[in-house]
Structure 1
Amino acid sequence: MGYEFDDAPTADLTASWVVSGPTAATFREDIERAIASKATDVRETIQDGIERGVSLEIPVVDGNAYGALRRVVDRHADRKGFAALGPDDRRRNVRLATATLGGESGRCSPYVLAEALLTVASPHSPTETLTTGDVAYGLAQLPAERLVPSLPPTMQKAVKALLVANGPLGRSAIVERAGISEASYDRNIDELAAIGLVEATGNGGHKQWQAWIVPWWSPLTDIDGPRTADGDKSALVRPSRWDDVLYEIALDLGLDPDYELFAWPVDADEVFAALPRLERWRGFVKTHYGLADVEHPALTPNDDTIEDGPDAPSSVEIGCGPAARSGEQVSLGGTNSSTN
């Protein structure tokens, strides 16, 4: 059957395929080639330019990389009524999200991020912007298994129990609310404290704990020391570099790191190889500090441009005629009469 066209026909793509998994991003070129292989799969009369046809541009994008996550933040901030985000605010929000939700440095599920942002309340004024505090609140509402995926479930449950508590909790309360064993608590609480996700506050000689999505040492905060009033603020001074953070964490965990391992310039791979107990915190610390993602350079601490990065959207066109078609046949608009 023939086709009837309006003068300026348009269409919106209403369905999509999602390929997910640890190595899903490596299939991007294969997917684009597979789609492109259908580019001339149209009727001969359209290919010959005798009959008008319709082409379809199919966008292909790395959905969990910086560019896509930036668009998720922008879209939800706009829908909630927040003012437009500047590059710095946007970058900080994405960094916090990927540090908390990412299984690898600089990446996280856009769906989980959207789920967190849906819980953020609308602003009181249209001039307010979406802050890291707002994003942190949304992240804290997620189920325990979403938080810092590199952690074991018992750690995630303990953090979640403290995040939703109305005040500090002691050992027995954490064990009960998180549904973990006392042995799991004893094994993990010191590490959570060393990393700064939880902080201790004394109560008559019995230690209690509070938790925050953003550790006090993160550049995403504006504080100079641990948040708890009776915490030992003299023990740590705000580190200026990610390797300083790791060195302090290693000391707190009693790992007795070789000082030469942290002599500048520091090799991250050497640090984590020498201190394997810190491996699960690699992405967490590096993302908080906005370090460049070497594999995906669109995530950089000082560049918000995504158009030329590997996570920038691209399109594969199908249903179009041969490239040799004459110039007057390549548009659906005006008096031209063939496929774009």
Structure 2
Amino acid sequence: MSVEFDPTDPLADLVADWVIVGSEASTLQPDLRGALEAADDDVREPVAQGTEDTFGLTVPVHVANTYAGIRAVLETHLEQKGFRAGSELRELTHVLQSVLATDDRGASPYDVATVCLHLAAATHDGETLGVDDLEHGLAQLPADRLAPTLPPSARRLLKTVLGASDPLSTADLVDEAGVSQRSYDRHRDLLTAIGFLDQDDEGHWESRLIPWWSPFWTPVPTPGTPDTAEDALGVITAEIGDCPADGPSPTQPHGVSMGRGEQIAAIVRAHFDAIETTESAETASVQIGPPPRSDGAQLTLAD
């Protein structure tokens, strides 16, 4: 059966995206591009000789857990929820990277989508989303998805305080997080130094997603606020020390312990545009067939 198409508009619109998920999936980008480019040579002889017309495809290949990828996921979901997506997107994206990224990969777009799906819809036109509004959505993720470089007990404490509707007493925090008093004592200083935990005047604990050292902290300028990620890391590690943490980090090989500075590096750098992902993080469109048009399906990579 012959295929009819407009020769003045020779690119087909694909009806599906492909998503590749897994450890170091983003490193596959060059190989995938090469395979797609090679497909341009795999056509029937009349097409290759130019005696028969055919339609073409353009396939953008991009890494989804970069800053731009996470911002796009966030913007899409906010618009679906009825929020106005404005200048606050930059701050929200950095916060999500801070809570969800490691030192060598950005936040998972799936985790970001899960957070957004648990957000309440906007109640009026022009409403914007604040950082505090992310807390409930983040609390719906498993504890091991939050601050992945921190020890497990610290992540359970963080999840508990993010999900609390009111500030928690120490006893309630320990009980609801399911950690021992010893674990609480060991990790409380780490979480407060990072800024994830804040104690009110009555001694109750609440979450804080923008710590005082962040460039997004308001009011600004605040005397003593670090100018760079390295300055912020220096201030925090001076407070808690850079001794080896208790037990291996989930992002390290079994039996390998990270220093405190290594544990918090990704959290801090995400506020200062310093998350490293991959050298091939930029979107690269691969043409198969006639010259490309601006639209097309996407092949997405997510670590």
Normalised by the length of structure 1, the TM-score is 0.70
Counterpart for residue 109 of structure 2: 110
Counterpart for residue 208 of structure 2: 212
Q: Is 1:43 matched with 2:54?
A: no
- CA 1:131/1:34 → structure 2, altered by over 3 Å: closer, same or farther? same
Please tell me whether the aligned partners of residues 82 and 129 of structure 1 are also in contact (alpha carbons under 8 angstroms).
yes
Q: Is 1:313 matched with 2:283?
A: yes
Structure 1 residue 106: deviation in Å? 7.0
- CA 1:243/1:46 → structure 2, altered by over 3 Å: closer, same or farther? closer
| Residues 151-300 of structure 1 aligned to structure 2 (within 5 Å) | 151-201=150-200, 203=202, 207-223=203-219, 238-254=225-241, 276-291=259-274, 293=275
Structure 1 residue 65: deviation in Å? 1.1
Structure 1 residue 184: deviation in Å? 1.6
Counterpart for residue 71 of structure 1: 72
Please tell me whether the aligned partners of residues 199 and 210 of structure 1 are also in contact (alpha carbons under 8 angstroms).
yes
Counterpart for residue 142 of structure 1: 141
Please tell me whether the aligned partners of residues 98 and 105 of structure 1 are also in contact (alpha carbons under 8 angstroms).
no
CA distance in 2, matches of 1:160, 1:15: 35
CA distance in 2, matches of 1:18, 1:213: 30
Structure 1 residue 237: deviation in Å? 5.2
Q: Is 1:82 matched with 2:52?
A: no
Root-mean-square deviation (CA, aligned residues, Å) is 3.2
Counterpart for residue 337 of structure 1: none
Q: What SS does the corresponding residue of 1:29 show, helix, strand or coil?
A: helix
Normalised by the length of structure 2, the TM-score is 0.78
Counterpart for residue 131 of structure 2: 132
CA distance in 2, matches of 1:208, 1:70: 33
Structure 1 residue 115: deviation in Å? 1.4
Structure 1 residue 199: deviation in Å? 1.9
Letter in 2 for 1:161: T
Q: What SS does the corresponding residue of 1:252 show, helix, strand or coil?
A: helix
How many pairs does the alignment contain?
277
Structure 1 residue 49: deviation in Å? 2.5
Please tell me whether the aligned partners of residues 83 and 125 of structure 2 are also in contact (alpha carbons under 8 angstroms).
yes
Letter in 2 for 1:4: E
Return 5+ residue gaps in structure 1 as ranges: 226-235, 257-274, 298-309, 322-329, 333-340
Q: What SS does the corresponding residue of 2:39 show, helix, strand or coil?
A: coil
CA distance in 1, matches of 2:197, 2:127: 29
CA distance in 2, matches of 1:223, 1:143: 32
Letter in 1 for 2:239: D
Please tell me whether the aligned partners of residues 105 and 276 of structure 2 are also in contact (alpha carbons under 8 angstroms).
no
CA distance in 2, matches of 1:224, 1:189: 27
Q: Is 1:95 matched with 2:91?
A: no
Q: What SS does the corresponding residue of 1:315 show, helix, strand or coil?
A: strand
Please tell me whether the aligned partners of residues 58 and 317 of structure 1 are also in contact (alpha carbons under 8 angstroms).
yes
Letter in 2 for 1:212: R
Q: Is 1:19 matched with 2:2?
A: no
- CA 1:159/1:295 → structure 2, altered by over 3 Å: closer, same or farther? closer
Please tell me whether the aligned partners of residues 144 and 155 of structure 2 are also in contact (alpha carbons under 8 angstroms).
yes
CA distance in 1, matches of 2:226, 2:287: 50
Report which structure shows greater RCO (CA 8 Å, sep ≥6): 2
Structure 1 residue 109: deviation in Å? 0.9
Q: What SS does the corresponding residue of 1:37 show, helix, strand or coil?
A: helix
Please tell me whether the aligned partners of residues 67 and 312 of structure 1 are also in contact (alpha carbons under 8 angstroms).
no
- CA 1:115/1:12 → structure 2, altered by over 3 Å: closer, same or farther? farther
Counterpart for residue 2 of structure 2: 2
CA distance in 2, matches of 1:84, 1:173: 36
- CA 1:172/1:5 → structure 2, altered by over 3 Å: closer, same or farther? same
Return 5+ residue gaps in structure 2 as ranges: 244-257, 294-303
Counterpart for residue 231 of structure 1: none
CA distance in 2, matches of 1:159, 1:331: 47
Structure 1 residue 177: deviation in Å? 1.0
Question: What does the per-residue CA deviation read over 1:201-260, in whole Å, with 9 as the maximum and x for residues that have no partner?
Answer: 465xxx5422223324322232579xxxxxxxxxx954444344333323332569xxxx
Deviates more, 1:10-19 or 1:159-168: 10-19
Letter in 2 for 1:221: W
